[in-house]
């Protein structure tokens, strides 16, 4: 994909293309950027070994976003944090439609990394410059003079490109509203002819399908990121000793998920389960279903299985657990700690795999052994308590009846 294609898509508001331009400017300085677009707000996270300079980089991102002129972006929020930290050290938000926060026009932005990027989009910039100077495009006075009656002293339109001419004329008040419209139309016509609609459609398809070329997605997850994800999307027991067990198990599981999630894609859900008598965690991503057991006296989790969802025959779901069926393989049984877990799992799987409803999952040998161990433990506890009560009774009897003897 050429630099011109990326620039065109960035002007249309594609986060991946914008991230590519930002990283091209900042990566030589040891700073990486992740970009997302939500409800018209462009969110840019800047990471480096040391906390990035807020005053310099916030204005740098704002200036570049402003000059892109993407209609789908109304505001930009910039975050800065050091590598390995989960929370940003600072954040700053700008309203692109507010002329009061407009910085001076300069080449200090991520668009100015090469000669091909020198001619930036003019629509939003011209509008904001007019509003900042107290002008309206329909013909207000500037310095006591009317735009329609001004002479173009010293202006040579032939030496400027159409889109640049529009910015210069609109900002300084040298053309009327009618003339600006003509210039704008000619610029749009020229761009449309040179680029072509078909080429833009092909480029959009390329950048949508090539997720691996995107800097924001290619940046590897850290252990802290995985731990935060588990807390965010996890469904674990909320009460009792199991809640404490998972609280200490999550930091052990996070390092094992780093390599897995970097290759398997984003995590959809993490569910606390019981597999072969051990506490475990069921991980669902967009394409994979994985299970990690968390032995109590082990420092590292054990990867039990990793299956592609498309290779599964079906999954039987009941209130107490699930059975995962693969083609020509016996089912693997996993049990829930809480009944409400079933709904969370069904929502995470969606239509990615065939789901079979069941009332109850029968216990396997591990569950029978687990139940038997629980019964034995209960009997031992009762027996110990009875012995303690009998010893207390004998002690009290000796205290009160001893003096009589």
Instruction: Provide the pLDDT confidence category of residue 385 given band limits of 50, 70 and 90.
Output: very high
* Residue at a domain's end among 177, 194, 217: 217
Percent of the chain with pLDDT over 90: 25
Domain match, 244 and 332 both: yes
Question: How many domains is the chain built from?
Answer: 3
Domain match, 296 and 379 both: no
pLDDT over 70 at 245, yes or no: yes
Summarised one tens digit per residue, pLDDT across range 57-78 is 988 898 888 888 888 898 899 9
* pLDDT value, residue 148: 43
Q: What is d(CA 143, CA 316) in angstroms, rounded to the nearest whole number?
A: 77
Domain match, 63 and 198 both: yes
Domain match, 210 and 225 both: no
The better pLDDT of the pair 361, 191 is held by: 361
CATH code for the domain of 350? 2.30.29.30
Average pLDDT, the chain: 74
Range of the domain at 388: 363-405
* Residue at a domain's end among 191, 217, 243: 217
Domain match, 165 and 244 both: no
The better pLDDT of the pair 397, 105 is held by: 397
Domain match, 300 and 372 both: no
| Token pair for 229 | 């994800």
* pLDDT value, residue 27: 87
pLDDT over 90 at 206, yes or no: no
For residue 302, the cross-strand partners are 293
Domain match, 398 and 334 both: no
Domain match, 23 and 172 both: yes
Domain match, 52 and 196 both: yes
pTM over 0.95: no
If you search the block for the tokens 């506490």, which residue do you land on?
Answer: 279
Mapping DSSP to helix (H, G, I), strand (E, B) and coil, where does residue 92 land? strand
Domain match, 147 and 184 both: yes
Backbone angles phi, psi at 83, to 5 degrees: -60, 140
As a whole number, mean pLDDT of residues 333-356 equals 89
* Residue at a domain's end among 186, 217, 248: 217
| Most confident listed range (87-101, 159-173, 234-248, 376-390) | 376-390
Summarised one tens digit per residue, pLDDT across range 256-289 is 888 788 777 778 899 999 998 889 999 999 889 9
| Token pair for 47 | 């990471």
CA distances from 65 to 4, 50, 51, 178 (A): 17, 24, 21, 28
pLDDT over 60 at 303, yes or no: yes
pLDDT over 90 at 209, yes or no: no
Domain match, 212 and 240 both: no
Domain match, 240 and 336 both: yes
Instruction: Provide the pLDDT confidence category of residue 149 given band limits of 50, 70 and 90.
Output: very low
Q: Are strands 332-336 and 90-95 parallel, antiparallel or unpaired?
A: unpaired
Longest pairwise C-alpha distance within the chain: 128
pLDDT over 90 at 372, yes or no: no
* pLDDT value, residue 201: 52
As a whole number, mean pLDDT of residues 177-187 equals 46
């Amino acid at each position: 994909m050429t630099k011109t294609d990326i620039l065109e898509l960035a002007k249309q508001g594609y986060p991946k293309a914008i991230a590519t331009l930002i990283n091209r400017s900042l990566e030589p300085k040891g700073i990486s950027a992740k970009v997302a677009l939500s409800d018209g707000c462009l969110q840019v996270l800047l990471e480096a070994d040391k906390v990035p300079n807020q005053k310099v980089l916030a204005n740098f991102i704002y200036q570049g976003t402003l000059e892109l002129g993407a209609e789908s972006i109304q505001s930009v929020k910039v975050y800065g944090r050091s590598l390995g930290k989960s929370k940003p050290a600072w954040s700053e938000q700008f309203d692109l439609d507010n002329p009061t926060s407009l910085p001076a026009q300069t080449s200090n932005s991520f668009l100015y990394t090469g000669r091909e990027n020198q001619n930036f989009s003019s629509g939003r910039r011209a509008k904001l410059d007019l509003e900042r100077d107290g002008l309206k495009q329909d013909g207000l006075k500037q310095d006591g003079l009317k735009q329609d009656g001004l002479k173009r002293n010293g202006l040579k339109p032939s030496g400027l490109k159409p889109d640049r001419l529009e910015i210069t004329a609109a900002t300084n008040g040298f053309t009327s509203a009618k003339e600006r419209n003509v210039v704008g139309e000619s610029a749009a016509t020229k761009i449309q002819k040179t680029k072509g609609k078909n080429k833009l459609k092909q480029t959009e398809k390329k950048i949508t399908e090539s997720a691996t070329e995107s800097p924001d997605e290619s940046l590897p997850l850290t252990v802290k990121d995985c731990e935060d994800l588990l807390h965010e999307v996890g469904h674990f027991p909320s009460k009792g000793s199991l809640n404490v067990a998972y609280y200490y198990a999550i930091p052990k599981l996070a390092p094992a998920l780093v390599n897995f999630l970097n290759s398997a894609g984003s995590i959809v859900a993490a569910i606390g389960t019981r597999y072969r008598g051990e506490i475990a965690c069921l991980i669902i991503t967009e394409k994979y279903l994985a299970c990690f057991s968390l032995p109590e006296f082990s420092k590292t989790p054990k990867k039990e299985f990793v299956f592609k969802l498309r290779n599964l025959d079906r999954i039987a779901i009941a209130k107490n657990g699930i059975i995962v069926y693969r083609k020509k393989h016996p089912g693997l049984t996993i049990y829930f700690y809480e009944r409400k877990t079933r709904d969370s799992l069904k929502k995470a799987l969606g239509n990615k795999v065939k789901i079979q409803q069941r009332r109850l999952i029968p216990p396997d040998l591990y569950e029978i052994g687990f139940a038997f161990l629980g019964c034995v433990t209960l009997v031992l506890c009762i027996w110990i308590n009875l012995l303690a009560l009998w010893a207390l009774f004998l002690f009290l009897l000796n205290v009160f009846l001893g003096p009589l003897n």
